[in-house]
Chains A and B, each alone.
Chain A
């Protein structure tokens, strides 16, 4: 299985012009197959630049990206192959829907892979199933709601059966139902295929609840890399970078400022509720039964 390795990655935009800007530098990490990874950082921190290197959409100005030990930018063929392996869903991908029917739109990617008509059909049906749009095949993407369009765009990438699915702000602009639905779709894809999932998100609550590892970018550098409980146990560092902590953590901090110390990591709603109820029972003098 493909592990992705990033070695000393650096990217400079508009080199040699007055607008020259180093977007990322000195980024080193390994992404084992199957991990659910969140990427967070302030606007302009370099996180979008980083993910666009994972499928050779951007070429490094320095350093390398390896997939299963091979440099993905070795030659034209490797740069092409990595696009099937690592599927990238951009921000607001629904703006890129273009075909006349939902079916045709989802089929675009697999068709480009040179698959037979039957194989393309199988993949379109499978991908549509993951995101729950199978009943919409004959519709024009333009007639659908924002949430449906977003899911169709995701299906178009899933139809290539990527081993690594990278999504840039997949829930931006969706209503709460739409957000929950698309996250459930992504989880289903990961569970059934064992794919690595990398999500760039500003939604700290979602990042805290869903991912097993968080990468924090600041000013073009990877400054924190660890499980959510470790990252969110350093709220001061995050706020100094202009980032939020999950709302449950923010409430716990406001309680701490009022002299209430909660036990254990608190970054999801359930953890917060349970920690407060524990504190309440302790204060009432009752022993918590084990």
Chain B
């Protein structure tokens, strides 16, 4: 029972649907881990994420987060203080007319002293690279900038768990890198637990664990290296290979003997350079 997030035989059906969106999902996520969740559109990955801070409650089974049953309504605020959630569309997440007020919204609601709020807001904006925009109006920012403000709002809560549901879908490459490195840093420096739902295969490479959902079930569960070496499985699940994995596969098929393992850019280049030099 050392999981900070625990799914026990969870089923979920949206009222308007015939089919279940989650089917018998059992899952334990360790504190401090980085879990990436992949799957085609409609596979249930967003539904899974929304169970982690009680936006959705299981129709059957239960979800425990930091020891709290998400269906335990009196403890809902306590639960949401532990779990910050970032969504795909930043326009639905911004509430204030000035960037720094938006980021301060949640910590203000925690009843923190003003100096502490100031510190958290500045630190959060700094971490997402938006400090210089603190006095701007959010609606005049670009989509990517708005998303970074939304992430700052979550970081300012200093939660133990951050759940990101396709947070980079609307960002440019630099924005994506900034968000991802911010998330990785929060995990490294503060021991935060990270759950990242994404369509970008590359974003899964630094994860400790990769879950692939298909038709509401967990279809694959392993390290990125394990999962990205199963070409046929990925095709069945509607996923791509990261470019590094694709290259290593094609070079092996052409007869090159390459060491296995690393899927990050440097690791891949090292493996290829070893046979060429």
- The verdict on A192 contacting chain B, using a C-beta distance below 8 Å, is no
- Note all chain B residues with C-beta closer than 8 A to A288: none
Query: Which residues of chain A from 244 to 287 have a CB within 8 Å of any chain B CB?
Result: 244, 247-248, 250-251, 254-255, 257-260, 269, 272-273, 276-277, 279-280, 283
Closest to A243 in B: B173
Within 8 Å by CB of A254, from B137, B144, B246, B266, lies B266
Within 8 Å by CB of A257, from B140, B239, B240, B269, lies B269
Whether B199 pairs with A174 at a CB distance below 8 angstroms is yes
- The verdict on A3 contacting chain B, using a C-beta distance below 8 Å, is no
Whether A202 pairs with B172 at a CB distance below 8 angstroms is yes
Whether A276 pairs with B276 at a CB distance below 8 angstroms is yes
CA gap between A205 and B173 in the complex, in Å? 12
- Note all chain A residues with C-beta closer than 8 A to B265: 250-251, 254
CA gap between A255 and B275 in the complex, in Å? 11
Closest to A18 in B: B137
Whether B202 pairs with A177 at a CB distance below 8 angstroms is no
Contact of A272 with B247 at beta-carbon distance under 8 Å, contacts A19-B137, A258-B273 already known: yes
Closest to B239 in A: A176
Contact of A173 with B166 at beta-carbon distance under 8 Å, contacts A145-B41, A277-B254 already known: yes
B240-264 interface code vs A (CB 8 A; 1 in, 0 out) = 1011101100110010100000000
Whether A248 pairs with B169 at a CB distance below 8 angstroms is no
Contact of A251 with B174 at beta-carbon distance under 8 Å, contacts A174-B41, A178-B41, A279-B276 already known: no
- The verdict on A227 contacting chain B, using a C-beta distance below 8 Å, is no
Query: Which residues of chain A from 80 to 114 have a CB within 8 Å of any chain B CB?
Result: 91-92
CA gap between A19 and B138 in the complex, in Å? 12
- The verdict on B270 contacting chain A, using a C-beta distance below 8 Å, is yes
- Note all chain A residues with C-beta closer than 8 A to B174: 42-43, 242-244
Count A-B pairs with CB separation below 8 Å.
121
Closest to A202 in B: B172
- The verdict on B42 contacting chain A, using a C-beta distance below 8 Å, is yes
CA gap between A269 and B243 in the complex, in Å? 7
Closest to B176 in A: A202
Whether A43 pairs with B142 at a CB distance below 8 angstroms is yes
Whether A276 pairs with B269 at a CB distance below 8 angstroms is no
Query: Which residues of chain A from 37 to 53 have a CB within 8 Å of any chain B CB?
Result: 41-44
- The verdict on A175 contacting chain B, using a C-beta distance below 8 Å, is yes
- The verdict on A235 contacting chain B, using a C-beta distance below 8 Å, is no
Whether A242 pairs with B276 at a CB distance below 8 angstroms is no
- Give the distance to chain A from B86, nearest Cβ to Cβ, in Å: 14
- The verdict on B68 contacting chain A, using a C-beta distance below 8 Å, is no
Whether A269 pairs with B247 at a CB distance below 8 angstroms is yes
Counting chain B CB atoms within 10 Å of each CB, which of A19, A92, A176 scores highest? Answer: A176
A111-146 interface code vs B (CB 8 A; 1 in, 0 out) = 000000000000000000000000000000000011
- The verdict on A172 contacting chain B, using a C-beta distance below 8 Å, is yes
Closest to B169 in A: A173
Contact of A247 with B173 at beta-carbon distance under 8 Å, contacts A146-B41, A173-B88, A272-B247 already known: no
Whether B270 pairs with A273 at a CB distance below 8 angstroms is no
Within 8 Å by CB of B41, from A43, A175, A250, lies A175
Whether B173 pairs with A204 at a CB distance below 8 angstroms is yes
A18-42 interface code vs B (CB 8 A; 1 in, 0 out) = 0100000000000000000000011
Contact of A172 with B169 at beta-carbon distance under 8 Å, contacts A254-B269, A276-B272 already known: yes
Closest to A19 in B: B140
Whether A44 pairs with B244 at a CB distance below 8 angstroms is no
CA gap between A151 and B150 in the complex, in Å? 29
Query: Which residues of chain B from 34 to 65 have a CB within 8 Å of any chain A CB?
Result: 39-42
CA gap between A19 and B39 in the complex, in Å? 41
- The verdict on A63 contacting chain B, using a C-beta distance below 8 Å, is no
CA gap between A276 and B253 in the complex, in Å? 13
B148-189 interface code vs A (CB 8 A; 1 in, 0 out) = 000000000000000000100111111110000000000000
- The verdict on B268 contacting chain A, using a C-beta distance below 8 Å, is yes
CA gap between A280 and B255 in the complex, in Å? 10
Whether A258 pairs with B269 at a CB distance below 8 angstroms is yes
Closest to B140 in A: A19
Whether B169 pairs with A43 at a CB distance below 8 angstroms is no
CA gap between A283 and B272 in the complex, in Å? 13
- The verdict on B109 contacting chain A, using a C-beta distance below 8 Å, is no
Lowest 9 CB-CB distances: which A-B pairs, in order? Answer: A254-B269, A247-B243, A244-B173, A242-B174, A43-B144, A258-B273, A173-B169, A176-B240, A175-B40
Which residues of A line the B interface, CB within 8 A? 13-14, 19, 41-44, 91-92, 145-147, 169, 172-178, 202, 204-205, 242-244, 247-248, 250-251, 254-255, 257-260, 269, 272-273, 276-277, 279-280, 283
Given contact pairs A175-B41, A258-B270, enumerate 20 new A-B contacts (beta carbons under 8 Å).
Answer: A13-B140, A43-B142, A43-B145, A146-B41, A176-B40, A176-B199, A176-B201, A243-B172, A251-B243, A251-B244, A251-B272, A254-B268, A254-B269, A255-B269, A255-B273, A259-B273, A260-B276, A273-B250, A277-B251, A280-B275
